[in-house]
Structure 1
Amino acid sequence: MALDLPPDPHFFVLEADVWGPHDTQFNKTEPVNRGDAPHCPRCGEAIGMLTWRPEYRVELELYGQGLGDFAEGPGYEVLISERMANAVRTEGLTGLLGFHAVEVVRMRRKRKGPKPGAVPRYFAATACFGHGAIDDVRSLVRRDEPVTCPECRNPGRDTIHGFVLEPGTWQGEDVFRPRGLQGRLLVSERFIQFVRRHGFTNMKLIPTREYILDPEHKGPPAGSPSSLI
């Protein structure tokens, strides 16, 4: 049965809200059991970092005033709170995988603030590699090197000054890593509504058309339009 997808969907880059009121980060605690990195099914090249396998043990770092529902750390895995994990399951949001219970072996406060209450239960999750692909023609991007594989579309981008997905490539996932930009988490409009409705914390949600990645301040690609098509 075909998915009933919106004709012109909008997407958002999901990042932790660094310097926000619930700024929470994590580090994996040794010994860390690592598995193979994911690979492109067509060209065989790695498209992600080494995976994380049991046991899932972490040290939380609290920079904000209170612990968040979402946390980033090394690797492609993220932590989500138990209340967020339950809501994802109950409401049927798609794209997050794993939901492995995490043991918090230590919590460090990294900036001044009130002593946090009980540490919530966290789960380790990963986002699926989606079929949605970056549209190079309609996006303001500059590549490191020419694309050699039409499936994974690696390597990545040197600079980004806003991007969109190719029409018809997204298959309805609410959280996913797009083809051609696997290092970023994208979320759907439904995910945005989900976060707002529940008040989940420590998430920055940036419209892809406004997303900028330009560490060397090179600016948009030469000859590019002033706005996205």
Structure 2
Amino acid sequence: MDSEASVSPRFFVLEEGVPSSRYDVDVEKAEPVNRAEAPRCPRCGDIIGLLTWSAPYRVELELHGEELGDFIRSTGYERLISERFTEAFRAEGLTGLEGFHPIEVVRVRYMRKRPRQPLAVPRYYVVWPCFGRAAVDLVLNRVRFSKPPTCTECRATGIDAIHGFVLEPGTWSGEDIFRPRGMQGDLVVSERFKDFVERHGFTNMRLTPTEQYVWDPSNLGPAPLPTA
């Protein structure tokens, strides 16, 4: 048997930097701000995301750190990516991002002391990580759900704490960056995406193996392990 074929793919949670880092920045949409309808589950009809930002794409940036990174979280599900990230992503055939609309940076406000040298403001594009087919395994994880999901398609529910999770085998469709079913508020990436980020040295991204990812604002601890 080919041992490589039996190895399960590895996945990572993508977070945008950390507060107080050199790439710490806030995004504020500049007027006029237009929004389209929020995405809904095709089966149950429940809303599974935030309102979608639509053109014109204009922003003001509040820089709390020292420089602007390649991957910036906005106020919705969209992300701002630099031109060099965009070009490399397309050239290497990675998948899972939608949109790629040019962004107009109207203004950069310095929340700390203005740098001595003029700040280089990259050209940015707005993208939306797709809603993937990969689904969070409802049994083999340490996630505390506020209530069990009722829809087998979107698996949307409230989450109180995460102490590692895995994806249900056979549900991943091969996207390199996506929002998994059952955990649409988080970004998950493939090992190929992780290698891509590290090889190019893209900034303002933190990648944690899904089984090691912890989010527990109320210190509830991990969910109990399933009993046999």
| TM-score (normalizing by structure 1) | 0.92
Provide the rounded CA distance (Å) in 1 between the counterparts of 2:146 and 2:87. 40
Q: Does 1:78 align with 2:109?
A: no
The AA in structure 2 aligned to 1:183 is G
User: 1:53 is matched by which residue type in structure 2?
Assistant: S
Q: Distance in 1 between matches of 2:112 and 2:162?
A: 32
In the alignment, the residues of structure 1 paired with residue 113 and residue 180 of structure 2 have an alpha-carbon distance, to the nearest angstrom, of: 37
Deviation at 1:112, TM superposition (A): 3.7
Question: CA-to-partner distance for each residue in 1:80-113, whole Å, 9 max, x for gaps?
Answer: 0011001111111100000010000110122346
What's 1:46 paired with? Answer: 47
Structure 2: which amino acid aligns with 1:103? E
| Inter-partner Cα distance in structure 2 for 1:102 and 1:15 | 21
Query: Within 1, Cα distance between the matches of 2:213 and 2:111?
Result: 28
Q: Distance between the aligned counterparts of 1:61 and 1:6, measured in 2?
A: 47
Secondary structure at the aligned position of 1:26 is classed as strand
Give the structure 2 partner of residue 35 of structure 1.
Answer: 36
Equivalent-residue separation in structure 1 for 2:98 and 2:74 (angstroms)? 17
Letter of the structure 1 residue corresponding to residue 62 of structure 2: E
Structure 2 residues without counterparts, runs of 5 or longer: none
| Aligned-pair CA distance for 1:44 | 0.7
Over 3 Å counting, the alpha-carbon distance change for 1:193 and 1:163 in structure 2 is same
Q: Deviations 1:149-208 (Å, cap 9, x if unpaired)?
A: 000001132111000101111111000000000000111100011011111001111111
Q: Moved runs in structure 1, 4+ residues, more than 4 A?
A: none
For this pair of structures, how many residues does the alignment match?
220
Say which SS state the counterpart of residue 124 (structure 1) adopts: strand
Q: 1:100 matched to which residue of 2?
A: 101
2:192 and 2:114 mapped to 1: Cα distance?
34
**Deviation of the 1:10 alpha carbon:** 1.1
C-alpha distance in 1 between matches for 2:75 and 2:55: 15
Identify unmatched segments of 5+ residues in structure 1: none
Shift, 1:6, TM fit: 7.7
Letter in 1 for 2:42: P
For 1:170, what is the secondary structure of its paired residue?
coil
Equivalent residue, structure 1, for 2:10? 10
Q: Let me know the Cα RMSD of the aligned residues.
A: 1.5
Provide the TM-score with structure 2 as the length reference.
Answer: 0.92
Letter in 1 for 2:163: H
Q: 1:190 to 1:113 in 2, by over 3 A?
A: farther
- Give me the whole-angstrom Cα distance separating, in 1, the residues matched to 2:194 and 2:26: 21
Instruction: Tell me how far apart the structure 2 counterparts of residues 107 and 113 of structure 1 sit (CA, whole Å).
Output: 11
Contact 1:15 / 1:185 at 8 angstroms: preserved in 2? Answer: yes
The one of 153, 156, 159 aligned to 1:157: 159
Alignment-mate amino acid for residue 27 of structure 2: F
